[in-house]
Amino acid sequence: MAFTIRQLSSSTVPGGIPTCITYPNPAEGLTANFELKSGLLHRLPTFYGLSMEDPNQHLMEFQFICLSMKPHLVDENILKLKACPFSLTDKAKQWLYELPSGHITSWDDMMKAFLDKYFPTSRIIMLRKKISGIQQGVDESYADYHERFKSFLAQCPQHGMKDETLLTCFYEGLTNLERDMLDAASGGSFMDKQPAAGMALIQSRASNQQQYGGIRSTTHEIHGVNEVSTFAHLEDKINKLTSLVSQVVTTKGQTMACGVCSMQGHAADQCPQLMENEGVNAIGFQQGQNRRRNDPFSNTYNEGWRNHLNFHWRDNDNVQGVAPNANYNRAPPSFFQKTQAPLNSTPLNSSSSSSSNNNSDEIIKMLATSNQTLVQGQNLIQNMMEEMEKQLGKWLII
Cα gap 151→138, rounded to integer Å? 19
* 323 phi, psi to nearest 5 deg: -65, 150
Global pTM reads 0.50
* 316 phi, psi to nearest 5 deg: -100, 125
Q: In the chain, pLDDT over 70 holds for what percent of residues?
A: 60
Q: What is the pLDDT of residues 309-341, one digit of tens each?
A: 555 555 444 444 444 444 444 545 444 444 444
Confidence (pLDDT) at 277 = 60
pLDDT average, residue stretch 86-99: 94
Q: What is the pLDDT of residues 156-169, one digit of tens each?
A: 998 889 999 999 99
Helix axes 163-172, 121-132, angle to 10 degrees: 50
* 129 phi, psi to nearest 5 deg: -65, -40
Answer for the pair 137, 148: CB distance below 8 angstroms, yes or no: no
Helix axes 55-68, 142-155, angle to 10 degrees: 80
Q: What is the pLDDT of residues 127-145, one digit of tens each?
A: 999 999 999 998 899 999 9
CA 65 to chain CA mean position, Å: 43
* 47 phi, psi to nearest 5 deg: -120, 125
In terms of C-beta density within 10 A (0-12 exposed, 13-18 middle, 19 or more buried), how is residue 149 classed? Answer: buried
Answer for the pair 294, 304: CB distance below 8 angstroms, yes or no: yes
More confident residue, 291 or 149: 149
Rg of the chain over all Cα atoms, to the nearest angstrom: 51
pLDDT reading at 259 higher than 80 = no
pLDDT reading at 230 higher than 50 = yes
Tell me the DSSP string of 96-133: HHTSPTT-B-SHHHHHHHHHHHHS-HHHHHHHHHHHHT
pLDDT average, residue stretch 7-17: 64
Confidence (pLDDT) at 382 = 80
pLDDT reading at 70 higher than 80 = yes
pLDDT reading at 236 higher than 80 = no
pLDDT average, residue stretch 37-44: 93
Cα gap 250→264, rounded to integer Å? 13
More confident residue, 324 or 104: 104
Tell me the DSSP string of 238-298: HHHHHHHHHHHHHHHHSPPPPTTT--SSS-GGG-HHHHHHHHHHHHHHHHTTTS-TT-TTS
Confidence (pLDDT) at 43 = 94
Tell me the DSSP string of 293-327: TT-TTSSSHHHHHHT-TTT--BS-S--TTS-TT-G
Q: What is the pLDDT of residues 292-310, one digit of tens each?
A: 555 555 555 455 555 555 5
